Amino acid sequence: MIGKMSIANPVKKTVSSVILDLDGTLLNTDQLVTDVLKSFLVKYGKQWDGREAHRIVGKTPSEASSAVVEAYELPCTAEEFVKAFTPMFSDHLSNIKPLPGANRLINHLHGHGIPMALASNSPRPFIEKKLSYNQGWKESFSVVIGGDEVKSGKPSPDLFLEAANRLNVQLSSCLVIEDSLPGVTAGKAAGMEVIAVPSLPKQSHLYTMADKVINSLFDLRPEQWSLPPFEDWIEETLPIEPWHIGGPVIKGFGRGSKVLGIPTANLSTESFLNLLSEYPSGVYFGWAGVSKRGIYKMVMSIGWNPYFNNPEKTIEPWLLHEFEDDFYGEELRLVVVGYIRPEANFPSLESLVAKIYEDRRIAESALELPIYSKYKDDPYLKSLLETTHKSQFIAD
């Protein structure tokens, strides 16, 4: 039976309306900005390396442009940069994907009649165009307001003050959901409750002003603000839109078998950089197919594994089966169907291992449920067992 997650969630404050940011909070705009910047800077013989990402997230177009021009010493003004960059960016707006959990959140709040506003530093025409590619979004918001409609953009509170005014609600009754530091600063300056969902990795410690910091929209608990709770959690798991991934099992850090006693079949990150930017770090589960062997239950982590402080985001599936030998060189395919929890740090190796085994218990049990078990017959996995093709794989 599907129901809300059985976790104690004490009420932080009662709110009656929600104001959402757009870029980096609901839409994976950061990835598109990165892709376009890479192409744009090549014209000047420069290479985008992401070192200035923190200076452009949440900023107005003018501020972000100034930061890039200055950092890369471009032979143009910020105004000239905006004029040249904007058409390139606009041509790709249809490629921006909603972040995981965005549709779920919008549909949930709208379905319960919660007044919602969208407040973004982007110019209003850009907002309208982005909304047009996401069915039902524009109709879900009572108010949509862009940075060109107020005197000052975030971190000024002007956008949020105007949003509350148009919603005709008290400032203290508003809950802001933001991904950037300028957005969080603006929300608190407006006298509102603020949830931060940092869009940049390993930045959570900087969001001290926020009333709550969460890893992703999957981890939002509306009932903490007396809003209607999500009711789609089932036995400590959240069903998600299934996604498929396959590739070589590469040699990992060696810690899976040697340190943790939990052998993982690591996937290369090089082929999945866009996917890694799209999906939040955390623990997921689903089904795994290994060529010439079979289909097995699996639980996996995506992220930096804070206990080991990974230098890069990784994908580390644990196939829940005792294999007699390594399957180096064999093809692996995954169908990811559910989410368990956000990535977390642990005070000891023992507590980390205990949590991983708890994740295994949750995944093994959940995968027996019809909502998840049906994906064992996914064609993506079945086709793997019907072919004799071998890919290049190495097990950890």
Catalytic member of 162, 178, 219, 316: 316
Sign of CA dihedral 142, 147, 152, 157: positive
Q: For residue 322, indicate whether it is catalytic.
A: no
Catalytic member of 23, 158, 211, 331: 23
Give the CA radius of gyration of the chain. 22
Kindly report the pTM of this predicted structure.
Answer: 0.86
Q: What is the DSSP letter of 220?
A: -
CATH of 238-381, one of 2.40.30.30, 2.30.40.10, 1.10.3720.10, 3.40.50.300: 2.40.30.30
Distance CA 395, CA 340 (A): 24
Q: Do the Cβ atoms of 46 and 72 come closer than 8 Å? A: yes
What pLDDT, on a 0 to 100 scale, did the predictor assign at position 395? 42
Q: For residue 148, indicate whether it is catalytic.
A: no
29 by DSSP, 3-state: which? helix
Q: Do the Cβ atoms of 31 and 278 come closer than 8 Å? A: yes
Sign of CA dihedral 154, 63, 100, 286: negative
Nearest CA among 164, 197, 166 for reference residue 23: 197
Q: For residue 232, indicate whether it is catalytic.
A: no
The residue behind tokens 């740090």 is: 345
Distance CA 21, CA 319 (A): 38
Tokens of 222: 């509306």
What pLDDT, on a 0 to 100 scale, did the predictor assign at position 272? 75
pLDDT in tens, the chain (396 residues): 344 444 456 677 899 999 999 999 999 988 788 888 888 888 888 888 766 666 777 677 788 888 888 888 888 888 888 888 888 888 888 888 999 999 999 999 999 999 999 999 999 998 999 999 999 999 999 999 999 999 999 999 999 999 999 999 999 999 999 999 999 999 999 999 999 999 887 788 899 999 999 999 999 999 999 999 999 999 999 999 999 999 877 766 555 555 567 888 877 777 777 777 788 999 999 999 988 789 999 999 998 888 787 778 888 899 999 887 777 778 899 999 999 999 998 999 999 999 999 999 999 999 999 999 999 999 999 988 876 444 444 444
Distance CA 29, CA 279 (A): 13
Domain layout of the chain by residue ranges = 14-225, 238-381
What pLDDT, on a 0 to 100 scale, did the predictor assign at position 315? 86
CATH code linked to domain 14-225: 3.40.50.1000
